[in-house]
Structure 1
Amino acid sequence: MSKQLTTSSGQVINQPKKSPVDTLLGIVAWLVGLGFFLPFAWMVLTSFHRESDAATNPPSPFAPLVLDGYRSFFNSGPWPSLLNSLTASVLSTILVLILAFPAAYALSIRPVQKWTDVLFFFLSTKFLPVVAGLLPIYLFAQKVHLLDNIWLLIILYTSMNLPIAVWMLRSFLAEVPVEMLEAAQVDGAGLVRTLREVVAPVVMPGLASAALICFIFSWNELLFARVLTGTVAQTAPVFLTGFVTSQGLFLAKVCAASLVVSLPVLVAGFAAQDKLVQGLSMGAVR
């Protein structure tokens, strides 16, 4: 069944009529979306409550709204930890893109010999659980005096995210027309210029999605930062663990701190959402 619509110019358009199954699936999709959004909305609401109101059981959503949780968080000195997280996440993401882009180019457009073995090697680095490598990394960092050093986290985050970025970018680079590269070579463009001016604009959605995912993984990483840092290179997730004290869990303060720490990721995701959706849909690993 279809429904006819008439435009202002008199053109008749047949619009297919929605079946009950489509309507039901739409309702289920909305319910699932609300289910994922409600915990975040509740956290935002709790962050504006007093501790006494946030600790009630059941908590009241109509309690007075205050800024006590945010004042307490910013008075606790979070800026060094936020700056460390930003430094480690941004620099590691830049290094990942610098290394992953030519590697993916070599594995797709100009494939090296036994490129499938190379891809499997990149993937195999993710097989080992992170906890299994924690002790040797700690002993190595202690030996070379890199404990509580932000550069150690940058190196670790780069090595952790590099395989993911290579796999993602290879899927995009495999879709680049060879004719574009041949035309660039005819015009006398070298490899670096070809990558910068020809290939990079075409795969920009892939670069954006890979950069965003690497940034999120680096920003949210806790285990290595918790064990390998102290006070100098402490990151924001480690700073959040300090709110769990022997005196109890202060919900309003924790919710306010969690919201502030999550803002960079939310802002980055919102700014690059079109590139991320396009990248994840077009650059799926086959």
Structure 2
Amino acid sequence: MRIDLHTHSTASDGTVPPARLVVDAVEAGLDVIGLTDHDTTAGWRPAIEALPPGLVLVPGAELSCYWALSNGWSISLHLLAYLFDPTEPAFAAERAMLRASRFTRAEEMVGMLVADGAPITWQGVLAIADGAPVGRPHVAQALVAAGVVEDVPTAFRSEWLGARYRVPKRDIEVLDALRLVRGAGGVSVLAHPKASKRGRVIDDEVFAELAAAGLNGLEIDHPDHDDAERTSLAGIAADLGLLTTGSSDFHGTNKTVRLGENTTRPEVYEELVSLATGASPVTARDQWPLRRR
């Protein structure tokens, strides 16, 4: 089995619609795909309705989180939540607040850019998003379309959306996020936890606190992890009894990563599924609304 548990669609910041993503997954030789759009489950239904025979969909979401430091600063974290009940009220309300924060954040960034002379508009960014929750990638695409930068990665550099025009967004304290995922019957995996090229990462001692709070696994095989980071994470996972996953973090043309570039072992996938009580993996035989376990 070839299993990729971390992908994004146009329901958040990917460029491939959910219904097309599941078709592309089959063409990429995958047997199982996890749909983990940022802070939303909006892509679940169209993906389920278009699910080809032979492909299993693991519905999930990637949550925007942070770890608070003693000096008042914080470190950004992403938590992959799988197989949770999307209707559980507390978790649903928190995801809605995260999405609203992304919207207002993007609008503020566009205002800052326009004030400095960038030839983009908020309406243009909304058109690029095309109904999806607006985020930084859509602002980046607007900058590319206007000829301000040559490509999306350039738009995320420090002189643009990476720092100068970056507006902080509302995130969930990671211990609260773990509690919410558990309360909705889901399982959790910390996404790309040692991707130092993205910025500061948590100290190794923090992983034990997260495991004690209910974290189920670590995403080890990821495009942003080098060999040393993967080896370090494997040792941490072994010491703490955490599951280890591998995924592509596919975003379509927003990144050069391919579907299935990294994969998860079948026995790990089966254990993750066995731990979930909120929802079940979906096949082409299933229909919306999502059946619960």
TM-score by length of 1: 0.26
TM-score by length of 2: 0.25
Of Structure 1 and Structure 2, which has the larger fraction of its residues in strand?
2
